[in-house]
């Protein structure tokens, strides 16, 4: 082999090693970014619930439910929006952890979602609408939502 071939092979090897290191660092960094996004989401949820404590009524068993006017359609729409917001964020987490269902991070978010679903008829209605909008060939998240409904006692 001549020197230019050796230099090309060494350069290729160094490039592959750098690519592998970059990939591993990005993969490790990605998990931390997910945690930061989740923390930001939780802080945003706190702000929303502090600004309008009646939104705690997304949980049917919360004592604030006694103060809610069931005929207030604007408030119902506000709760729908909050529940869709939670569901959409949960779908992002699901997509990121679809292949790592044993991750403590995923298990924690999954438990929170199932608990909310178990105590929110309004969220169950929303989930049914989402499922019914995908009757044929549902994507994995829709199948997961079907299982969530089953686990929530529906």
**Going residue by residue through the chain (154 aa), what tens digit of pLDDT does each one get?**
666 565 655 555 565 655 556 556 556 555 556 666 667 877 888 888 899 999 999 999 989 989 999 899 999 999 999 999 999 999 988 988 877 778 888 888 888 899 999 999 999 999 999 999 987 778 899 999 999 898 887 6
Q: Is residue 40 part of a domain?
A: no
pTM: 0.73
Q: Is residue 28 part of a domain?
A: no
Q: Is residue 56 part of a domain?
A: yes
Q: Which residue from 93, 87, 99 is spatially nearest to 128, judged by alpha carbons? A: 87
Q: How many CB atoms within 10 Å of residue 84?
A: 14
Give buried/exposed letters for 42-68 (b at 16+ CB in 10 A, else e). eeeeeeeeeeeebbebbbeebeeeeeb
Q: Is residue 45 part of a domain?
A: no
Burial class (CB in 10 A: 0-12, 13-18, 19+), 139: exposed
How many CA atoms lie within 13 Å of 121's alpha carbon, on the beta-carbon side? Answer: 5
Q: Which residues form the domain of 118?
A: 52-151
Rg (CA), the chain: 23
Q: What is the pLDDT of residue 49?
A: 85
Q: Is residue 111 part of a domain?
A: yes
């Amino acid at each position: 082999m001549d020197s230019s071939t050796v230099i090309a092979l060494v350069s290729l090897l160094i490039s592959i090693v750098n690519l592998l290191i970059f990939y591993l660092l990005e993969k490790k960094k990605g998990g931390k970014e997910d945690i930061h996004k989740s923390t930001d989401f939780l802080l945003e949820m706190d702000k929303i619930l502090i600004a309008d404590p009646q939104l705690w009524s997304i949980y049917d068993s919360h004592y604030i439910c006694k103060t809610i006017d069931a005929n207030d359609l604007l408030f119902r729409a506000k709760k729908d929006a909050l529940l869709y917001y939670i569901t959409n964020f949960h779908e992002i987490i699901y997509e990121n952890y679809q292949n790592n269902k044993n991750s403590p991070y995923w298990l924690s978010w999954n438990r929170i979602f199932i608990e909310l679903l178990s105590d929110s008829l309004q969220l169950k209605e929303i989930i049914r609408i989402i499922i019914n909008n995908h009757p044929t060939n549902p994507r994995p998240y829709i199948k997961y939502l079907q299982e969530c409904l089953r686990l929530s006692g529906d």
